[in-house]
Structure 1
Amino acid sequence: MLSMTTDPTLSPAVETLLKEVRDHFPNQLNIQVDDQESGRISHESAQQEPQQDGSILLHVYDKTDINYTISHELLHIEMYLKGFPTMSFPLTTTDPRLDDQLGATAVSIYNSALHLIIGAEQRRNGIITKDTVQAFIRGISDVVPAEEGDAEDPKIIYRVLSLLDGLAFFADHEDEVPAEWLQMYPIAFQAAQQLYAVMTEKVIDSPFAIRRSIVKTLRAFDAWLDKLGYVPMPHDQFAAVSPVLSKRQLKLEFRQVFDILHSDYLNRQTKEKAFLAIGKNDRQLAFAIPEKELDQDHALAVYGQTTADVLEHYGISYTTR
């Protein structure tokens, strides 16, 4: 039987972070650490699990460098509390396998962008050590299979997304990126570098900047897939990235900030064809309008309201720039 602990010993920096998150988190936050230690770090080594009593269990499955893993999860929570954009999937293609593929790839890119900020904060607090770096490298090198020289290998997507996250981990410390990755994954590493260049093209220092980075990287990833001849992944109309709007935009008519598009996908909530709110500037899905029908008169009525009123009416979360 697997043993575990619910009161792990943490470094002072992580203890401080835990206290800060607990002080501001609306639910009770508990930690459980399993007694498995692989010697590798993976961002799949922990998960936030909602409990029936409303509390959240931060469940750590692999205790290798628990200071890194626990602080990583806490910083994800902290970014949520600070209003950084969230990602959701209000639509379905009606093909569960395709839904899973679209969701998994979008979440991976979304998380890698957030990891730029999370990793920088961990380094600032001395949480990432030399041992952390080596365990992180093993978490990719030991798990992600090496290429066999075929760009059409279906594992290419897995490799590229894993390496993109690896490059995000080494942000501003590119000289520490292991040479073995280029040797093991020459095709995927080049693609990951191209996506990383898009992701970090502009400084990421705010919720608006992180959203812009996510949207541009999703688009670049979809273009890369199309170039390889894979089935298109239209993340721009499937993955909803919560809006980050200026006070001026909130006062504008909805038609000045968003377009309403009719989709062939189904709205998970209404079970009918979905109506999408697409940002005029970035053409990215912000949310699905929870209406079963939206005729021209109704759409014009929505367009004529202020953006703030429409978001409030439909209960859409957003962040103000």
Structure 2
Amino acid sequence: MTEIKLNEAVTGLINLTNSLYPDNVSVHLGTEKSGYVRHDQAQQVLKDGNIVVEVKDVTAPNYTASHELLHLLLLLQGFPQITFNLTTRDQQLDEQLMAIATELYDMVSHVLVVAKQREHALIDETVEAEYVKGVYATIDPEVPNKDDAMMTLRLLTLTDLLVFFNGDLAPELEKRVSGDFPKSWPAAKTLYAVITRKAVDTPFGMRRAIVKLFKAFDDQMTAWQLPGLHGNEFVTVQNVLSERQERLEVRQLFDIFHSDMLDKHKNTRAYIGLNKGDQQNAFVLPAPAQKHSDAFFKETYGKTVKELLTGLDIPYTLR
């Protein structure tokens, strides 16, 4: 079998990533070849401080490797991450919520990732056709007038399809997709409009889009009478702050509320720091002992934002 060599654009991305990451970043290519591309065909694996981008499916190795490298570059350049610090006490439910939240987060990231891939000519008509095949390998067309368990997955997959094509599908593809998904396609367009309403080219813009997308997703779930994500509470979104906000007291920027969920790492009652501006989970605190709670909250609210986040070892980005 002929050895696959990554092209110059991808090797350039590997070099750029290595210039920002303290240890080594490399790409390992597998041997599977499905004939379609999906974003689950590669993953980042941490080994002794080094990151290996494992591309298990090599249908489009340059596309798939560059896609994962660009996700990594966003993190290294200070674009916000999401973390999961709470548990519903139901592991299966936690995993479902984390999977949905990650898909929504990735969609917003893909606005930047796909734009860079197109800029470097890493997406051509062949990759586009393979991407569409990947969509149809993931979701089945809707059965008229009948909802099934795939509605949420259809919504996520089709919204990402819109991001991939920058909202502009060829007429024949638009006709095919709208015919196969008459209920979920309009809903996907609504979510896409939320993602792209304002620019997503800065850490602040990306965070804003993520938070708005969580809400829009839950609005759609409510309309379909399906369970929501409640991402504003369940998902911690990394803060993007100005230098002035760093210096504010915690009480000026955040409200701290008791959560019905538990601190995932300590398995104790949890308190959530909600951003006053958008009510998004910005940090999670384990509950103090009852007899110390008044002093704890007085002290916490009186700290500067920088003191609190640094003391909790919570990363944030300055804009």
TM-score by length of 2: 0.95
Alpha-carbon shift at residue 203 of structure 1 (Å): 1.4
Distance in 2 (alpha carbons) for counterparts of 1:169 and 1:299 = 45
Distance in 1 (alpha carbons) for counterparts of 2:227 and 2:288 = 29
Deviates more, 1:240-249 or 1:143-152: 143-152
Does the Cα contact within 8 Å between 1:290 and 1:314 map onto a contact in 2? no
Name the CA shift for 1:161/1:65 in 2 (closer, same or farther; >3 Å). same
Aligned partner of residue 260 in structure 1, secondary structure: strand
The answer to whether the aligner puts 1:187 opposite 2:183 as a matched pair is yes
Does the Cα contact within 8 Å between 1:269 and 1:290 map onto a contact in 2? no
Alpha-carbon shift at residue 247 of structure 1 (Å): 0.9
Gaps in structure 1 of 5+ consecutive residues: none
Match of 2:65 in 1: 70
Name the CA shift for 1:173/1:90 in 2 (closer, same or farther; >3 Å). same
Q: Which amino acid aligns with 1:109?
A: L
Q: Which amino acid aligns with 2:280?
A: Q
Name the CA shift for 1:236/1:4 in 2 (closer, same or farther; >3 Å). farther
Match of 1:234 in 2: 230
Report % sequence identity: 35
Q: Which amino acid aligns with 1:135?
A: E
Distance in 2 (alpha carbons) for counterparts of 1:137 and 1:144 = 11
Please list, as runs of the form range in 1=range in 2, the aligned pairs for 1:245-264 lying within 5 A after superposition: 245-264=241-260
Distance in 2 (alpha carbons) for counterparts of 1:175 and 1:101 = 33
Q: Which amino acid aligns with 1:319?
A: T
The answer to whether the aligner puts 1:40 opposite 2:36 as a matched pair is yes
Aligned partner of residue 48 in structure 1, secondary structure: strand
Among 18, 24, 27, the residue aligned to 2:20: 24
Aligned partner of residue 57 in structure 2, secondary structure: coil
Distance in 2 (alpha carbons) for counterparts of 1:46 and 1:158 = 19
Q: Which amino acid aligns with 2:128?
A: V
Alpha-carbon shift at residue 278 of structure 1 (Å): 0.7
Match of 2:300 in 1: 302
Match of 1:272 in 2: 268
* Aligned residues between the structures: 316
Among 103, 110, 113, the residue aligned to 1:115: 110
Gaps in structure 2 of 5+ consecutive residues: none
Does the Cα contact within 8 Å between 2:85 and 2:265 map onto a contact in 1? yes
The answer to whether the aligner puts 1:198 opposite 2:232 as a matched pair is no
Distance in 1 (alpha carbons) for counterparts of 2:293 and 2:32 = 56
Q: Which amino acid aligns with 2:29?
A: V
Does the Cα contact within 8 Å between 1:241 and 1:286 map onto a contact in 2? yes
Alpha-carbon shift at residue 151 of structure 1 (Å): 5.3
Distance in 2 (alpha carbons) for counterparts of 1:183 and 1:173 = 17
Match of 2:8 in 1: 12
Does the Cα contact within 8 Å between 1:275 and 1:289 map onto a contact in 2? yes
Aligned partner of residue 145 in structure 1, secondary structure: coil
Match of 1:316 in 2: 314
The answer to whether the aligner puts 1:136 opposite 2:134 as a matched pair is no
Does the Cα contact within 8 Å between 1:21 and 1:74 map onto a contact in 2? yes
Distance in 2 (alpha carbons) for counterparts of 1:122 and 1:172 = 16
Distance in 1 (alpha carbons) for counterparts of 2:199 and 2:283 = 26
Alpha-carbon shift at residue 14 of structure 1 (Å): 1.1
Alpha-carbon shift at residue 15 of structure 1 (Å): 1.1
How large is the RMSD of aligned CA atoms in angstroms?
1.7
